[in-house]
Amino acid sequence: MAASFSSTQSPLVGKYLYVERLEFSPYGESWGFECYCLSFDNGIYTVRNKFGQVYKASINQITKIIDITEQQKYRVGDIVEAKIDYLQKDGDWSTDYCQIISVKNFANDFDYVLKNIKTGQIIDKRQNYIVKVVTMQQPKYMLGTYVGMKHMIGVQWDPQTVIKNGTIIKVNAWYDRVTYDIKLDTGEIKTDVFDYSIVAPAVVKTKQQIDQENIESLRQEEERLLRQLEMVRAARALVQ
């Protein structure tokens, strides 16, 4: 049923309306649109739809005033995470990082023109396809920092962690992570190393320190064996 608006006034000018029977399909189906009311004259409303098409409509074609419930959440220039493609296999959306180039509003629709940061591709997305505003992640370690890197050795069921020292030669900052390229003291280069794999550099011992530690270790082992031998002798003496 059409809304009972007075045709002698213009209370609908400047409002968003749903207007029926504006166009007809080849099969006789009538199409209606959300429209913006431009003017009112002699009982006829001039309205414009989202795509810029202008129509004349009578009061009987207007079925409701559209309540404005949505607000613009993002601004031109914002870097955002946006839903790009729906992955049928995973049942979820892939996302990427984009910059907002422009935004258009019509009623409760906010349409954004986005530029993919990586590919440069220009895409159009509704507001509900934008996940959040993002900022570039700040690195914890600076270029040129001498660090230790955790390195797993051994078999899968019995791994061991050793620390290899090296210098950060590249910082890869992005909107969801920071990784580092590290040149180890051995000359090997490790790429895309995460924060959690970086620790303080291991202390590099001199040959003299290593030899001294070996001597001390042998001395302690000798003392342990002598104590054990004394315990065996004492036990035998008690038996005899």
Q: What is the pLDDT along the chain (240 residues), one digit of tens a residue?
A: 444 444 446 799 999 999 998 877 677 777 889 999 999 998 899 999 999 999 999 999 999 999 999 999 999 999 999 999 888 777 889 999 999 999 999 999 999 999 999 999 999 999 999 999 999 999 999 999 999 999 887 666 667 888 999 999 999 999 999 999 999 999 999 999 999 999 999 887 777 877 788 888 888 888 888 888 888 787 777 776
Residue 86 half-sphere exposure toward CB, CA atoms < 13 A: 3
The contacts of residue 73 (CB under 8 Å, 6+ apart) are: 110, 127, 130
CA 33, CA 222: separation in Å to the nearest integer? 94
Same domain flag for 155 and 190: yes
Same domain flag for 214 and 195: no
Residue 3 lies in a domain: no
pLDDT of residue 240: 67
Same domain flag for 191 and 212: no
Same domain flag for 88 and 129: yes
Residue 129 lies in a domain: yes
pLDDT of residue 7: 43
Residue 6 lies in a domain: no
Domain coverage including residue 154: 146-199
Find, among 130, 109, 136, the residue nearest to 36 by Cα: 109
Residue 9 lies in a domain: no
CB 123 within 8 A of CB 116: yes
Residue 8 lies in a domain: no
pLDDT of residue 86: 87
Same domain flag for 158 and 181: yes
Residue 33 lies in a domain: yes
Tokens of 237: 């003496």
Same domain flag for 103 and 85: yes
Same domain flag for 215 and 188: no
Domain count, the chain: 4
Give the domain-ending residue among 5, 32, 65.
65
Same domain flag for 54 and 99: no
Residue 114 lies in a domain: yes
Same domain flag for 96 and 128: yes
Same domain flag for 31 and 55: yes
Same domain flag for 86 and 102: yes
Same domain flag for 191 and 211: no
Residue 2 lies in a domain: no
